[in-house]
Amino acid sequence: MSDNGDTQGGRIRALFENIEADVSIIAPFIKVDALQLLLQALPVGAYLTCITRWLPREVAAGVSDPEILDVLEERGNFSLFLVERLHAKIYIAGNRCLAGSPNVTLAGMGEGGGAKNIEILVETKIDDPSIVATLREIEQEKRPATKAMVQTVLRLANSLSASKAVNLDAPWFPSSRQAKQAYRFYTQPSDEDEYVGSADRILLADLARANLQPGLKEEEFRAAIRSLLETIPIAEIILNTTEDKIFTHADTHHHFEELEELAGGHFSANDLWLAFVEWMAYFFPDKVMAQEITQIALRRAQILKL
């Protein structure tokens, strides 16, 4: 192709042209239009492995397209995997590869009519120790992408875009009182044309702000949510308490007044406290329990039977 070598995208296409060996595209951000430009140079008979990541915030921001699965299915002769921690950008053809900074986006490839990023690609070999180590890590963490994952991440990304109550700069904290439904909503988000009530929209926004990759098994999902809850200062205090103790909203009100401010006034401090109790009791049944005395409280217990 005449533009090969003139842009980073041209260099990648030059690597792929007339190749008879397997090819890999590894990048956290892959856009449909940019991928189609690379596929133009790839012989039909070449097997393509594509590795990327789909996180709700990035999809909502428009830097990554889960719809690449449709493009790859139309082409055929491919595998598509997701790696949550992926940051490497590597383009492989046989034993040759280009490694550097460009994602599979028009800006990253230096093409299209918009702004072009300043990027670098260095040619190396597949047996370069740093490439070998990176590919080994990717192999350990990759999981096959599916249509269900596409639907999940798009639904969560759409809920981010639609929610006026979402402050992406704020630390994560739950505002829904439907913690028990969280994994079901994560794995089986409602169809776009299905009626979704306000409580469901709040839960979807909580899950979207959690920014979890699609396809987690339930134990992985629970571990991820537990990790997020542990980052909330009052949760850390409660979980690190070494005595059997009951916490009420009155004991913790200043923490939730701060969260109320971060929530932009869409939820009261008491609403957030009740949501917090629900999520803590559900995701830490081995450590805390919800109790109702004169008000909803959270008990930190040292020994709980599940």
Q: Which residue has the higher pLDDT, 5 or 10?
A: 10
pLDDT tens digits along 271-280 = 999 999 999 9
pLDDT tens digits along 50-84 = 999 999 999 999 999 999 999 999 999 999 999 99
105 alpha-carbon distance from chain centroid: 18
pLDDT of residue 130: 96
Task: Collapse the DSSP code of 161 into the 3-class scheme (helix H, G, I; strand E, B; otherwise coil) and give the result.
Answer: helix
Cα-Cα-Cα-Cα torsion 136, 137, 143, 149, nearest 10 degrees, comes to -140
Task: Grade residue 295 by pLDDT with cuts at 50, 70 and 90.
Answer: low
pLDDT of 192 over the 70 cut = no
User: pTM, whole model, 2 decimals?
Assistant: 0.88
Residue 193 CB: number of other CB atoms within 10 A?
6
Q: How high does pLDDT run on average in the chain?
A: 89
Reading the block at residue 165, the tokens are 């109550």
Q: Percentage of the chain with pLDDT > 90?
A: 68
CATH for the 8-145 domain, from 3.10.129.10, 3.20.80.10, 3.30.870.10, 2.40.50.140:
3.30.870.10
Pairing, β 245-248 against β 143-144: unpaired
Using CB atoms within 10 Å of the CB of residue 154, give its burial: 0 to 12 exposed, 13 to 18 middle, 19+ buried: buried
| Rg of the chain over all Cα atoms, to the nearest angstrom | 23
Q: Which residue has the higher pLDDT, 262 or 46?
A: 46
pLDDT of residue 95: 93
Task: Grade residue 193 by pLDDT with cuts at 50, 70 and 90.
Answer: very low
Distance from C-alpha of 144 to C-alpha of 232, rounded to nearest angstrom:
32
Contact in structure between 231 and 211 (CB atoms under 8 Å): no
How would DSSP label each residue in 212-276?
Answer: PPTT--HHHHHHHHHHHHHTSHHHHHHHT--S-EEEEHHHHHHHHHHHHHHTTTSS-HHHHHHHH
Contact in structure between 102 and 10 (CB atoms under 8 Å): no
The phi and psi torsions of 58 (rounded to 5 degrees) equal -70, -40
pLDDT of 164 over the 60 cut = no
The phi and psi torsions of 181 (rounded to 5 degrees) equal -95, 0
pLDDT of residue 184: 92
Find where tokens 């740093």 sit: 130
pLDDT tens digits along 209-223 = 999 999 999 999 999
pLDDT of residue 194: 54
List the domain boundaries for the chain.
8-145, 148-300
13 alpha-carbon distance from chain centroid: 29
Helix axes 269-283, 249-262, angle to 10 degrees: 110
